[in-house]
Amino acid sequence: MMKIGPDDAIVVIDVQNDFCPGGALAVPEGDAIVPEINRIVRDFPVRVFTQDWHPQGHLSFASSHPGASPLSTIDMPYGPQVLWPDHCVQGSDGAEFHEDLHLEPADMILRKGMRPEIDSYSAFFENDKTTPTGLEGYLKTRGVQRLTFVGLATDFCVAWSALDAARLGFAVRVKLSACRAIDLDGSLEAALERMRAAGVELI
């Protein structure tokens, strides 16, 4: 049983159709976490949901780089970038939240990845690690000191968000039973190690 206090928040990361089975960038069992998220989300006094929201032709899409194959990596001005299949395109069905996810409890829905020239895994910063989304200010204004992360995918958007939250001074938990991973070339174990090293509590 998780202890939840008045300064706790839950951040539900990218539980969207394209990351669920049948989607353009499906995470194995991505939809299996929805019932657990629905069960716990109302227990938190502050609830934030994030939504990947890419314009057509986003530079993180393999289709934007002639001859590049999905899941290959290139160097961008801000560092290495995995090239993904087109996914979570603004206004598409794939960008919508999973139909069974309860959105009513959300205090805030944060859209990310909207700038065509830079990807955004983290809920706090673009992938340059310096351009903020505004989430830090919102949470601090609400008096939040501890964050619990759930959602998709453990080894990318969840891990990057948790690591940034720890770097910003929040106490951080990741509820692994309410996350699923892509696990691209060992990326899950690497992400878990990085989170442990940063003091993130894996529960």
The tens digit of pLDDT for each residue in 9-26 reads: 999 999 999 999 999 999
| pLDDT higher than threshold 90 for residue 79 | yes
Tell me yes or no: is domain 8-53+92-202 CATH 3.40.50.850: yes
| Model-wide pTM > 0.85 | yes
Catalytic residues: 14, 112, 157
User: pLDDT value at position 2?
Assistant: 85
User: pLDDT value at position 27?
Assistant: 97
Residue identified by tokens 């289709």 is 63
Segment 129-155 shows an average pLDDT of 97
- State the chain's mean pLDDT as an integer: 96
Closest-CA residue to 167 (of 138, 121, 200, 133): 200
User: pLDDT value at position 128?
Assistant: 93
What is the tens place of the pLDDT at every residue in 23-52?
999 999 999 999 999 999 999 999 999 999
Query: Between the CA of residue 152 and those of 45, 66, 166, what are the distances in Å?
Result: 22, 28, 18
HSE, side-chain direction, 13 A CA sphere, residue 188: 13
- For residue 192, the SS3 value is helix
Q: How far apart are CA 21 and CA 122, in angstroms?
A: 22
Q: Is the peptide bond before 153 cis (omega within 30 degrees of 0)?
A: yes
- For residue 120, the SS3 value is coil
